[in-house]
Chain A
Amino acid sequence: MLSRGSSSLRAVLGTLTALMFVACSGGSDPGTAPQRRSEELIVQAANYELLAGEDSRFIAGLLTPDQMFVSYGTVDIEFFYLGTEEGEGTARKGPTATARFLAIEGSKDPDTKTPQATSAADGRGVYSADVTFDRAGFWAAQVTASLEDKPLSGRAVFEVFEDNRYPAVGEKAPRTDNLTVSSEDAPREAIDSRARDGEPVPDPELHRITVAESIRRREPALVVLATPVYCVSRFCGPITDMAAELNKRYGDRVNVIHLEIWRNFEESVVNKGAADWVFRDEDLTEPWIYLVDRSGKIAARWDNVATRHEIEPLLRRLPRLSR
């Protein structure tokens, strides 16, 4: 016959054992991010600044678990608001969007409706969706892509800000006196980082005029803030080459102006002209492209990734300049 003490001891052990298996089972809390499973997408939110209450271009790069790029076609995104403190709060459903693929300049973009896992050689780019985030704080983007009829999903958490740190649409553009080919006291590589070791400044037509002069003349400007040599982002592309092409096509309608980021990369010295636009709170982000209208206000801006597909329609609408 069991003693009362033995029965109690069995009950305690039984309870503890049950508790351990419950702990191992890993229930999910609707407010926390799910653990990444091997079939999930890797989602990299790619914006530098998203603002609450404004029409925004949300961009994200997608990778498969084995590090292939997800490219082409469209993907679906559900956005969730997480709150004002990162890592806390319950997810609240927000807008949904269909994001289309934007190929980085020079990458392939075949006309296909379905995403594919590709090598970097075959296609690099991001997915872009037009979204309005109604409040500042932390948001999650739950992305679903159908690859070879198999749905993969993943999420990324990102922040939406109440106030802009960088020049924003509708604001007056900084009247920057940037370096030009006429700036004799500046090292050539401060004008374009490719102009090292005695090499001439490539694309000198992008360094003819300052932003301030363009505004003074009441001419629109496409301001390209980029460092061709010292870019470290995985989404780096030949953005200054694209700027040169746009200048060839639309130079009679807009002043295309390239601002090199670094005066001296090794000594961490940022060109003052670039710093006016991209250096805030000891933080530097690039590349950026800004379209400044004839009145000197910012008409549009693109952060991190910018494509002709997005920029050209705006440039085509500009009237030819009477020079």
Chain B
Amino acid sequence: MFLAHGAATGLNFEALVLALPMVVVGVILFVQKTAKPIVPVVLVLGGLAAGVGGMTIFAGDDHEAEASTARDEAYARMVTGLCEARRLAGTGVDEANVVFQDEVHGPLHDLAAEVREADRSAAAALLVAKEAVESDLESGLVEGDDLEQHLAELLDATAPALAAVDVEAPAC
């Protein structure tokens, strides 16, 4: 049952934490001969099985879960960065640019590449909106109001793109 649960949820570190005490207790009981021999044998073998499972069978599932969480967190930070850049655009294009480059640019490209496979229309809208903002920032001549408008449009395009890859967009 334990192994089945682990296979379903992708246990890794938890399996090892449980395995070690089982083995230790089993060895102690065996040396002290305070229990029937079958008890420490079961403890040690069970601990070994959990330990090996935690390191091999479940390790891949755990890495995939971690990668998915990291991706969702990166997209959430991206949206937060977009909100902040939009807020800053009205008062300072340079400040908005820094936030856009640091927090938004990279994950936005990753999202565009991912959405391109799932929903071309959402990807197209996202990329068009992105290009408008990047063009503003590269030209260096943009007024804060125009940049703020383009950032708002990019935010609008981001929500359906995230939905297309099953990620919920946080609100500003």
Contacts and interface: CB of A to CB of B under 8 A. Distances in A.
Contacts of A23: 51-52, 55
A6 B51 CA distance: 25
B168 interface: no
Interface in A97-156: 106, 119-121, 124
Contacts of B19: 20
A234 B109 contact: yes
B120 to A, nearest CB: 5
Contacts of B51: 20, 23-24
Interface string A236-268: 101001000000000000000000000001111
Given A13-B30, A17-B44, A232 B120 contact: no
B25 to A, nearest CB: 12
Nearest to B44: A13
- Chain B: number of interface residues, binned into ranges: 35 or more
- Chain A: number of interface residues, binned into ranges: 20 to 34
Interface of B: 16, 19, 23, 26-27, 30-31, 33, 37, 40-41, 44-45, 47-48, 51-52, 55, 97-98, 100-102, 105-106, 109-110, 112-113, 116, 120-121, 123-124, 127-128, 131, 134-135, 138
Interface of A: 6, 9-10, 13-14, 16-17, 19-20, 23-24, 67, 106, 119-121, 124, 194, 196, 228-234, 236, 238, 241, 265-268
Question: Which 6 A-B pairs have CB atoms at the shortest separation, nearest pair first?
Answer: A121-B101, A232-B113, A120-B101, A119-B102, A121-B98, A232-B112
Given A23-B51, A238-B138, A241-B138, 17 more contacts: A9-B30, A9-B41, A10-B31, A16-B45, A17-B27, A19-B48, A20-B19, A20-B47, A67-B106, A121-B98, A121-B100, A194-B135, A230-B124, A232-B109, A233-B109, A234-B109, A265-B127
